[in-house]
Structure 1
């Protein structure tokens, strides 16, 4: 069977040692080209046992080059089969890749972590979120500070697009990817001027993450995002407003009142602050009504 030939069972041969079966179709007609920087979640299995789980950094996908090089890999190029499998996938597609050992850990296998026996075939489950065109970005390790800022902002822009389309899981994914370019290790190395510049991108990413996580009903995680901003920038009224909302959604109305008070002092004319104040007042009145009802029930 030649490359890209599809069998009756839906399996497609992409190379001599790599086949793909689509589990969930993606959307659109555009396909990941050779050398595209792909954003993916994947798990890798050998003989039914998981050997990799790349859901790291709060769920941020990893970035893998579609297609990779050409020819059989060396034993150190363990993602060669994954790289081949990504070539031609569409955004949102989920697939299963069956990879022969020569496109994985080879004849030697791996006796470190992960432990993979010699000549082991691999199975990947892959979810492609999206990609950047070839040459649009350098590898992360080669980026200068300004280039990391641009990479973070680019992912923020992609996340905003997804958020506006109502794809909140995808928007959170892109925002978390953006934050990974401005992580704590980098921030600790920056001088004050650079840190302020980084936070001009990082803080909006944190607040965007709050909004996505609220839509996903992950209120505790959302609150963490907003609280990080107010710790670093106590004069940020938008962040205080989101902290207030996070506390309200978790039922901590006392903390919500304190936070919205801080937001109101900073920006008393803000429509968002007034709206959140009203919601907190309504929640407080509703709580009083419930408590009064329970009290009357005890003695009525």
Structure 2
């Protein structure tokens, strides 16, 4: 696997709501002195820049990368642990090196800002924006589902549903809303099955069937509940 060595010439404000999954290894001074790594993790957890990842240089570096890219970063002390270091692992004024692979990312900044609005303010946004926020929330739900963190996935799916109750001005708009809700109903039905909540799984399976009577996934979900 090839790595690109990046030179970061200027700092900029990171998107603190950017969630990403990365594989990384950190080294002190040279590439033989490993001090931290998650390379052995098969499924690295989702981390937020500015919260879980707080090294300024690493934040900037990750924001310069694209999904699937690998890179090597050399971070001077002012971009890493500073004059004090991080005893006992990191001595003062230490240059650190990071090998990073960006596996995936989801930008939740727009979602977080949207959910801070009142219901009336949300309702004034164009449908396109609402659908985008709902889709991003569903992506977060999918991420946590595949990590088998079903309670968090369920909450994300329901958060997306909470903004899809608006009245539509046309059949075309209603069709878009229904398509988004259908995916969420199916996801919630499967999530509740995984949580062994048959009653809730059936509820959302039936809601999906109300929108699409012949939906194979919804029929299958309801059939699983009946076993």
Q: Calculate the TM-score normalised by the size of structure 2.
A: 0.55
Residues 191-231 of structure 1: CA deviation (Å, up to 9, x unaligned): 23127553220112223444455455544433222222233
Alignment correspondent of 1:71: none
> Is the alpha carbon distance of 1:100 and 1:208 closer, same or farther for their aligned partners in structure 2, counting shifts above 3 Å?
closer
Secondary structure at the counterpart of residue 251 of structure 1: coil
Instruction: Answer yes or no: is 1:222 the counterpart of 2:153.
Output: yes
Of 132, 135, 139, which residue of structure 2 is paired with 1:201? Answer: 132
C-alpha root-mean-square deviation of aligned residues, in Å? Answer: 4.7
Counterpart check, 1:127 vs 2:72 = no
1:92 aligns with 2:87: no
Residues 189 and 35 (structure 1 numbering): CA distance in 2 closer, same or farther, change over 3 Å? farther
Separation (CA, whole Å) in 2 of partners of 1:85 and 1:230: 31
Shift in CA distance, 90/33, structure 1 to aligned 2, threshold 3 Å: farther
Matching of residues 29-40 of structure 1 within 5 Å: none
Deviation at residue 256 of structure 1 after TM alignment? 0.9
Cα deviation per residue 1:226-248 (whole Å; 9 max; x = unaligned)? 22223333573432232112112
Gaps of 5+ in 2: 37-44, 166-177
Following superposition, the deviation at residue 116 of structure 1 comes to 6.9
Separation in structure 1 between the aligned mates of residue 147 and residue 66 of structure 2, nearest angstrom: 24
- In the other structure, the counterpart of 1:264 is 209
d(CA) in 1 for partners of 2:208 and 2:61?
51
Q: 1:197, 1:186 → 2: CA distance?
A: 13
Deviation, 1:276, is 1.9
| 8 Å Cα contact 1:85/1:97 also seen in 2 | no
For the residue of structure 2 that corresponds to 1:261, the secondary structure is helix
- Cα deviation digits, residues 162-199 of structure 1 (max 9, x gap): xxxxxxxx3xx3xx32x33321x443246231275532
Residue of structure 1 in register with 2:194 after alignment: 249
Structure 1 residue 59 and structure 2 residue 46: aligned? yes
Alpha-carbon distance change, 109 to 43 in structure 1, aligned in 2, over 3 angstroms: farther
Unaligned runs of 5+ in 1: 1-23, 51-57, 64-76, 130-169, 286-300
**Greater relative CO (CA pairs within 8 A, separation 6+):** 2
* C-alpha separation in 2, matches of 1:109 and 1:201: 43
3-state SS, counterpart of residue 264 of structure 1: helix
Tell me the TM-score normalized by structure 1: 0.44
Residue of structure 1 in register with 2:115 after alignment: 187
Q: Does residue 206 of structure 2 align to residue 278 of structure 1? A: no
8 Å Cα contact 1:241/1:259 also seen in 2: yes
Who wins on radius of gyration, i.e. which is larger? Answer: 1
